Amino acid sequence: MAEPAAATSSSSLKRTPLYALHVSLGGKMVPFAGYEMPVQYAPGVLKEHLHTRSHAGLFDVSHMGQVALVPKSGKVADAAAALERLVPQDIVGIPAGRQRYAQFTNAEGGILDDLMVANFGEHLVLVVNAACKEADIQLLRDGLSDVCDVQPLTDRALLALQGPKAAGVLAKFCADADAMRFMDSGPRMVDGLACFVSRSGYTGEDGYEISVPADKAEQLAEALLSDKDVLPIGLGARDSLRLEAGLCLYGHDIDTSTTPVEAALEWSVQKVRRSGGARAGGFPGADKILAQFDSGAARRRVGLRPEGRAPVREGATLFATADSTEPVGKVTSGGFGPTLNAPVAMGYVPTALAALDTQLFADVRGQRLPLRVAATPFVPNTYKR
């Protein structure tokens, strides 16, 4: 999950608690979702990407929104049931100490944002995308204030430590780190600081996201970066890593014009919320989304592997044949996959053309480049199940 860059003047851009550290480390700062964020450091996107795949990378994701949903009754199940009014996922069934991926949907079944929902035992904690967080908080207040106090956690930063060496590194600072499983989430002490830690991330690698008090974020980041296996990683490598992992970028691969079924996110909607389930429907756009579960959708997000070396970028039009004049779809994310040493992309095509190995053609500067529908993730994930 992530967010599109926002076109804003430098004077109106916000800064995360790690801004000064990014500058001191030589980060190249760019506008992103209303913030000044590092797109890369001196090693460059390629080396940062490969280092995360082989060692561990530290990402600043403090621009994202963190929100607590505190049930007025004192019962976390009440907050979970209330949140199910806004998302198609089974929130009631999330055990304490675990988290789940979800989407806010609208009345047409489109995706307003994607988010993570964690059960902290007495309340829920949500992480939402930076570009959507104000709208998301208003959505939560409008929809849930009868049951929950909606509390933005504006005094916290968020770090992501990702890669095969992440567990070994974090274990030096957090006694519980190695025992955590993929999607475990909750309060943990990290380097003597009261943090929230989840074993998850946005790279396809094993790793953690660490919510830390904002005034201690630089201290914790410097402690993690003191390990020889850890490098700071910018937005450029974050994007290429998530693309290789086949993960959606909000505002690009998913948005208000795409449903969870069209986006190939059926796995994220548990059976209890589908037709015939104990709590079927009851979320915005349920009629359309559940009909697509039952009868299929007209189009689908697919992985794409260009057959040559040239990357096929976002916005490229897709055609069924090399000489057809009628477009059949569009690329929503695309670039070079450093791990694969080859280009990769994702996009939407008619369901009839979504089968693996289907030949398609992308229009790139007037040339029709061949590509094929491919399975995602492009690089196998290494989550600790």
pLDDT for 1: 47
pLDDT for 47: 98
pLDDT for 10: 58
Tens of pLDDT, residue by residue, the chain (385 residues): 444 444 445 569 999 999 999 999 999 999 999 999 999 999 999 999 999 999 999 999 999 999 999 999 999 999 999 999 999 999 999 999 999 999 999 999 999 999 999 999 999 999 999 999 999 999 999 999 999 999 999 999 999 999 999 999 999 999 999 999 999 999 999 999 999 999 999 999 999 999 999 999 999 999 999 999 999 999 999 999 999 999 999 999 999 999 999 999 999 999 999 999 999 999 999 999 999 999 999 999 999 999 999 999 999 999 999 999 999 999 999 999 999 999 999 999 999 999 999 999 999 999 999 999 999 999 999 999 9
CA dist 198 and 336 (Å) reads 29
Round to the nearest angstrom and report the end-to-end CA distance of the chain. Answer: 20
CA dist 372 and 354 (Å) reads 10
Q: Give the CA radius of gyration of the chain.
A: 21
- Residue 175, classified by CB atoms within 10 Å of its CB into exposed (0-12), middle (13-18) or buried (19+), is exposed
DSSP letter for each residue of 145-159? TTTEEEEE-TTEEEE
Buried b (16+ CB within 10 A) or exposed e, 67-102: bbbbbeeeebebbbbbbbebbbbbbbbbeebbbbbb
CA angle at 271 for the pair 267 and 274, rounded to the nearest 5°? 100
Residue 160's DSSP bridge partners are: 59, 209
CB atoms within 10 A of CB 121: 12
DSSP letter for each residue of 158-204? EEEEESTTHHHHHHTT-TTTTT--TTBEEEEEETTEEEEEES--SSS
